[in-house]
Structure 1
Amino acid sequence: MPAESLHDAFEEELKDVLSAEKQLLKALPKMAKSASNEDLKAGFEEHLEQTKGHVERLEKIFGMLDKTPRAKKCKAMEGLIEEGSELMEEDASPEVMDAMLIAAAQKVEHYEIATYGTLVTWARQIEMDEAADLLQETLDEEKETDSKLTGLAESGINAHAEA
């Protein structure tokens, strides 16, 4: 579909991020399983539950648009997840694996933060304030997850990987 307006671009980006979130639903359990640090494992499991909520919010926004929630393959997330999958096959100590998992997860979070930030701005521009509020809620959760990952890295995971 040609994007002839910001509204069209908004819809296309919603399809892309729906795909990204659905891909993440499959990846997070694998990341949790690969983590040895219990706090990191719990963080991945918590974010899995949040991600289910992100999908629900996106589906609600599609409903506001009178559109069926259809995902359009997010190649960026596909690449990030593929990179993370390759990382999990590395021969690494549990401590180093945890540090690498945090790095992979933060790449995903930064991608999502950029995407949701754009969507919030676009939703406000096209006067879809309710959608913008839902997207802002997700954006805030993504930023919080990124901050928690940084905290885990700084609270000892990176130091254990160094030792």
Structure 2
Amino acid sequence: MSTHPSVEKFKDLFEEELETLYFAESQLLKALPLVKKGVFNKELAHVLVQQTAQTKIYVKSLKSALNHLGRRVSITRNATSEAMLSELTHLVKRFPRGNLRDAALLALLQRLEHHRAARYLSTIALAKQMGEEGILDFLKEAASFDSVSAKRFAQIALQVNAEAFIDTHSERCPPAVPPLT
């Protein structure tokens, strides 16, 4: 999807990965406030506010990293990120506000966090090879935050899923859900 010429050097690969991260984080920054407005669970709304604040930092840090490398910030689109973010806004429209919508959003948010963490981890390997210690520190911090966020979403999902199950008047009793440790 990129309009960049073919990648022939390792440095170009590294920079393109940073641009892809920049695009994904910029798109997420636009989507999170819309998603937050559509959630029912207060804890989830709070986590989304924190996620938005952290994503703003990521966008600034990625832009700084690209500037540090002498790369003009351009958009390297990513189909996977675009599809997940499109699905987030679609879910807000598709489901009525409540626990069932939150359960659907949490399932997608968990997948999105795992995708983000994987993208950061793969870019960490590139940064190590490039010897980019300053950028490496930021990437490690981002990967760590995404891992923690995924766990928080999973914990919230346990409660929201149980409530959504009850709300939809299912005939079976919901399973007991032990807390995550």
TM-score band w.r.t. shorter chain: over 0.9
Out of 51, 54, 68, the residue aligned to residue 50 of structure 1 is: 54
Q: Secondary structure at the match of 1:89?
A: helix
Q: Which residue pairs with 1:103 in the alignment?
A: 107
Out of 154, 159, 164, the residue aligned to residue 161 of structure 1 is: 164
Q: Which residue pairs with 2:34 in the alignment?
A: 30
Q: Is 1:152 paired with 2:156?
A: yes
Shift, 1:13, TM fit: 1.0
Paired residues, what number? 162
Specify the structure having the higher radius of gyration (Cα). Answer: 2
Higher relative contact order (CA 8 A, sep 6+): 1
Shift, 1:93, TM fit: 5.7
Q: Which residue pairs with 1:121 in the alignment?
A: 125
Q: CA-to-partner distance for each residue in 1:68-124, whole Å, 9 max, x for gaps? A: 222222222111111122211224460111111111111211111111000011100
Structure 1 residue runs without a partner (length 5+): none
CA contact 1:57–1:135 (8 Å) conserved in 2: no
Shift, 1:53, TM fit: 0.4
CA distance in 2, matches of 1:45, 1:91: 21
Q: Is 1:61 paired with 2:65?
A: yes
Q: Which residue pairs with 1:89 in the alignment?
A: 93
Moved more, 16-25 or 56-65: 56-65
Structure 2 residue runs without a partner (length 5+): 167-181
CA distance in 2, matches of 1:93, 1:159: 16
Shift, 1:5, TM fit: 2.3
Q: Which amino acid aligns with 2:68?
A: M
